[in-house]
Amino acid sequence: MSSRESGSGHREAEPQSAATSADVIRAEGLGKTYAEGKLRTPVFDGLDFAVAPGETVAILGASGAGKSTLLHLLGGLDTPTAGEVFVAGHQMSTLSDGARGQLRNRALGFVYQFHHLLPEFSALENVMLPALLGDAGVGDASQRARALLEAVGLGHRLEHKPGELSGGERQRAAVARALVNKPACVLGDEPTGNLDEKTAATVFELMLDLNRAQGTSLALVTHDRRLARKLDRVVELHEGKLRELPRGDV
């Protein structure tokens, strides 16, 4: 379940190719360099990374190593300067902005350190939004959102707005929102980083339980090695390279 190699290094022209369809997310030869005037700042280059269906992967690394950049590239939120990203068998670079957005909404869920709930909407409405942006009707979206909010212990907070929820409750609502479309993979960027240790552990276990119940993959950026040890696989981004960590080194 570690990073796959293409053998000949040939890049398949079709996003539905057998070389990519087995993984929910796959990066081949991924590179990112930031440019400002004549200054070039390489973050990483030549990264290969894949997440299998139902697999949970932790991405460790020091601050500034490029973990969030990697996650944004995997989620199609940023454009690589080299290499390709495939999501659910689709080559992201071949898609229009609109098609890329639709694929993200359908196949991926996102949970960040900050909840990013819309303050004017209730918890229920916030969780419904990704479903409504897809092809769900209001009734279906509401039913799915209610079920997930009840699953994360917020069944009594459906009509509360984010400002009326605690930090832990807001993150639980964000987890429910990430899962409302039953995505192939959830990408988490330090989703418990702003929470106290006890609340962080509770939110993390809820996220794992729901991911496993839905058969959803999880790629999680974290500094917390205790949380990382609970996932199937751990990789570390260091000096622009990804390496798989043996369980005893985590």
Give pLDDT, residue 21: 53
Could you tell me the two tokens for 144? 């799915």
239-244, long-range: CB < 8 A, 24+ apart: 239/65, 240/42, 240/43, 240/44, 240/45, 240/66, 241/44, 241/47, 242/3, 242/44, 242/47, 242/48, 242/49, 244/2, 244/3
- CATH code, 146: 3.40.50.300
Residue 148 inside a domain? The answer is yes
Residues 6 or more apart in contact with residue 47 via CB below 8 angstroms: 27, 29, 30, 31, 70, 83, 241, 242
The answer, yes or no, to whether residue 213 has pLDDT greater than 80, is yes
Residue 184 inside a domain? The answer is yes
Residue 7 inside a domain? The answer is no
% of the chain surpassing 70 pLDDT: 92
Residue 111 inside a domain? The answer is yes
Residue 3 inside a domain? The answer is no
The answer, yes or no, to whether residue 52 has pLDDT greater than 90, is yes
Q: Are 6 and 50 in contact (CB under 8 A)?
A: no
Q: Are 4 and 48 in contact (CB under 8 A)?
A: yes
Task: Please state the pTM of the whole predicted model.
Answer: 0.82
Average pLDDT over residues 116-124: 95
Flag the least confident range among 3-12, 109-118, 210-219.
3-12
Residue 130 inside a domain? The answer is yes
- What amino acid is encoded at 76 in this protein? G
Give pLDDT, residue 217: 94
Average pLDDT over residues 21-47: 88
Residue 29 inside a domain? The answer is yes
Q: Which domain holds residue 42?
A: 18-249
Residue 5 inside a domain? The answer is no
Give pLDDT, residue 30: 93
End-to-end C-alpha distance for the chain, whole angstroms:
17
Residues 6 or more apart in contact with residue 10 via CB below 8 angstroms: none
153: alpha, beta or left, given left = phi > 0 and alpha = psi -120 to 50? Answer: left
Cα–Cα distance, 57 to 184 (Å, whole number): 14
The answer, yes or no, to whether residue 88 has pLDDT greater than 70, is yes
Mind listing the pLDDT tens digit for each residue in 163-195? 999 988 998 899 999 999 999 999 998 888 777
**Residues recorded for the chain:** 250
Count of domains forming the chain: 1
